[in-house]
Structure formats: C-alpha cells, structure tokens
Amino acid sequence: METKMKLNSIHSHLCFLLILFSSVPSFVVSFNEELEGEDIERSEFPDDFFFGTSTSSYQIEGAYHQDGKSLSNWDVFTHTQGGRFGAVNPRGVTFYNDIIDNLLLQGIEPFVTIHHNDFPQELEERYGSWLSPLMQEDFVHFAKTCFESFGDRVKYWITINEPNLFAALAYKEGMFPPSHCSEPYGNCSVGNSIKEPLISMHNMLLAHARAVKLYREHFQGGSIGIVAYADMYEPMTDDDDLDREAASRVLAFNLAWVFDPLSLGDYPPEMRRYHGNELPRFSAEERNYVKGSIDFIGINHYSTLYAKDCIHSDCNFEGNGHVIGFSYVTGERNGVPIGEPAGMEGMYVVPRGMEKIIEYLKKRYHNKPTFVLENGYAQIRQDIQVQDSLFDVKRVEFHKAYLASLARAIRNGADVRGYFIWTLMDDFEWLDGYNVGFGLYYVDRKSLLRIPKLSAKWYNNFLTNNSLNDEEVVIMSPRRSSKFRSRKVILSGVKTKQAEM
C-alpha cells in the first residue's frame, strides 16, 4: 500500500552541513538556466491543492517475512542470485489501520495505492500472474478487502501503480520479475517481448475497471483512479515532421495506452494501427465498465526524452537506447543531454516537460482532474559522505523548477489538484537498491536514523511560506534522538509571504 499525503506543515527540523557542489558541464542546459529568474510560492496554487510525499510499502517497510506475511514476487526475485483467496492477515490490516488513523489525526489525507509492483509469489507460480485473466479475480478480491478495511476513512484510491512501466520492464525487457523477454529486447529463458506486455496490460486494465465497478456499486464515498509512468517526449529533430510524429506516437504508446481505454473505451488508434490483431480487444460487456472507470488521472512524471522516427528512418543506434512505438528514445542529441542527468540512468532534469505533459493530458482527456502523484530527484548515495546527501540543494532547485512549470499549466487552465514528492525517505529503489536516494529524509541503514535533508526543510517552508533560517535541529530515531545546530544557508529565490493554507 502506498500513502500520499496532504500536508499542512511538516513537524520536523532540518540538519545539514554546508558543502560545495561541482559545477554543471558547460554543454548541459541546466534546469537553473532554463527557468532562470523564476521562483515559486505556495500561494500560486489553489487553496485546496494537495501537497504531499509518496512512499511504497515494499520500498520502505522491510520485514519481508514478519507478521504472517507470505513471500511476494519481489521477495523471491531479490533473493535469487545474479497463497487463492486466502484468509486476510489481521496483523497486516492492523498495521495499515494504525497508519491511516495516525495520518488523519495529524490532518493528513491518505491517498492509498492498492497495488505497487509486488504481489504474492504464489500467484505467479499458480497461473502466471498478470498473463492470466485469473489475476483479475485475485486483484478484485484484494481491492475489496482494502475497501472494507479502510474505506470508511480513505477517500482517494489508486488501483495500480504504473502498469505501463511494469508491463515493459517485467514482460518486454525482463528487468522486473517475472523476468520475461525475448530478442532483441533481452535474453530471458522465457517470454515474448511483443505480445506479453500487451496481454499483461490488458489484464491490469480489466482488473482496475472491475475493482472500480465494485467500489462504485458497493462502497462509494470517494474518488478512484490509476497512475501511469509519464515521461514527456520531444522530437529528436525540431523541424522534422517524422520525428514530431514519433514523439506523439511514443506518448500514445506509453501514456494513452493506459488512459485511452479507461477514458474513451479502447486502446489508442495509434496502437491499433501498428499492432493490429496482436492488441487485445475488449468485449462489449467489458467496454461498458472499462470506459469512464477513472475519476481522476494520476501520473508519475520525472523526465523528458527525445524521440526519433523508426518507421521511415534508419534507427541502427548503439548504446542503451530503446524502441517505444516504433521510435528510438534517448536522452541525448548530438552528444548533448536534453537536461542535466540525474542520479538514475535515463532521468534528466527538464522542468518544461511538466507543463507539456499536463497540456497533453488536458487536450486528450478533456481536462479531467489530474494528480501528479510522483515527482522527484535521484541522488547517488553510494560512496558519498552523509553530509553530501543532507545538503541536497539540487533537489530543492529541481522541485522549485518543476513546480513553477506546473503552476504555469494550472494558470493555463489545467485542472491539476495535487503534487506529491517521491519520496518521503530514501528507500529501496528496485534494481538500484539503496544506491540512489529520492528522499526528503536520509536513512542510516545501520541505526535506522532518519535525518531530514535540506529539501525537507525547504518543503516545509514552501508550504508555510517561511524562509530558511538558522535553527536548532532535532534528529528523530526509532532508538534515540539527538540535536545539534545547523549552519545558515541562503538559497536564491526563497521568499517569505503570508501563507494561504
């Protein structure tokens, strides 16, 4: 389960040390240059706009074999070198009841994601998980349990996190369990990289729609949607019509793959044109409950990439580029990155992409209410000093720039209702493990000490329209607490203004 929160304030203080960062290479157009002179304040967003942070149960909780929990697919996958409609685990329900109750006690609105990548390994072994329609039934059973257990207090539900990314990584490239793929996308022992992503997505969309149908008929009282991974794409060549078409096609093959069926009742025509009979079809009955099965659009947006046409053009590229929608996707053009590279491969800092992706959704889906449920800056953790992680000025500038871009989209009429930072604390980042950190809080893995970074203090100040000042720091730990004085740091663009909360 994932929680996303509306924060009125962050009841914590920040510790940081003043350090120097190396300058950005001159050939990179940095996000600071892109939005030079701009700043962002809480008052630029609607009064009822949600701000929060995102977490994922598997990625922050640990305890993979405690409290009656069975093995999940990721438990098995991460412990590899190089049980149907079972009883509800009461300790698991109690655990999340406690979390939800305490969030509400603090004035925090929980946004609950039902499925975020991991599920019982038994379902994989029994019938192949998302490659089988049987997975729809197990998902609806699980969703029903969540609605019954938490629905009296949870008013915002997300059924599945990033089905488009999961389908690609698990069934096309073989990088996520169950590690299915085929040439030329990967060298797996089993899989079909053309057909299996389409089948798994079809089952996830039907599972989502059936869960929404159940919620609307028997529970109600809240809003329910789904969240897609949403990179923005720009043409590799600005004046090339084929590359412009390629960028549009990639958006359809990635983003509209999720939202066209749930909003309009069928897969994107761009996909129907090229995939033909390989693309599954919805029956008349299925179409009735699939179409219109979202109350809001959820996206996780981090980066922008270039797209080059591969239908009418030669795409014999070397390196780690990949094909989406018969387009070559890359973060560089003529050796120059599209934006400053972040600490995770394939992520670049391109704030303008936020406004563009929101505008795309606004036009294609008639300005349906939208939440940005994840956005964050990847920072390399491995082989760097703790103070380097704590003084995360690049993360602060990242969120200021992306929020400014989002504010422009809202001023242009986009119905965006929330922005959530990934993530509250440094976590297990799937294949990257603990080598990168997105968190506002640094976690010492030996002591479990959770130390607020500069970004945590900035987020608090942004939400309350306060400035960064020299103040006493309290570091909270499950085992102990300590305190020391912070050094004063001036960040450009931080202003003080009356809060409008």
Task: Yes or no: say if 193 and 199 are a contact pair by the CB < 8 Å rule.
Answer: no
- β-strands 2-4, 232-235: how paired? unpaired
Q: Is 137 a catalytic residue?
A: no
Q: What phi-psi label fits residue 265: left (phi over 0), alpha (psi between -120 and 50 degrees) or beta?
A: left
Task: Yes or no: say if 353 and 301 are a contact pair by the CB < 8 Å rule.
Answer: yes
Q: Is 270 a catalytic residue?
A: no
Q: Give the tokens for residue 491.
A: 């960040």
Catalytic, out of 124, 173, 374, 429 = 374
Q: What is the DSSP letter of 295?
A: S
Whole-number Å distance between alpha carbons of 396 and 376: 10
Helix (H, G, I), strand (E, B) or coil at 181: strand
Catalytic, out of 162, 245, 340, 355 = 162
Q: 81: buried, middle or exposed (CB in 10 Å: 19+, 13-18, 0-12)?
A: exposed
Task: Yes or no: say if 208 and 202 are a contact pair by the CB < 8 Å rule.
Answer: no
Whole-number Å distance between alpha carbons of 442 and 449: 8
- β-strands 111-115, 2-4: how paired? antiparallel
- What string of DSSP letters covers 351-394? THHHHHHHHHHHHHTTT--EEEEEE---EE-TTS-HHHHH--HH
Cα 83 to Cα 77, 139, 470, distances in angstroms: 17, 13, 53
Whole-number Å distance between alpha carbons of 12 and 463: 13
Which of the residues are catalytic?
162, 374
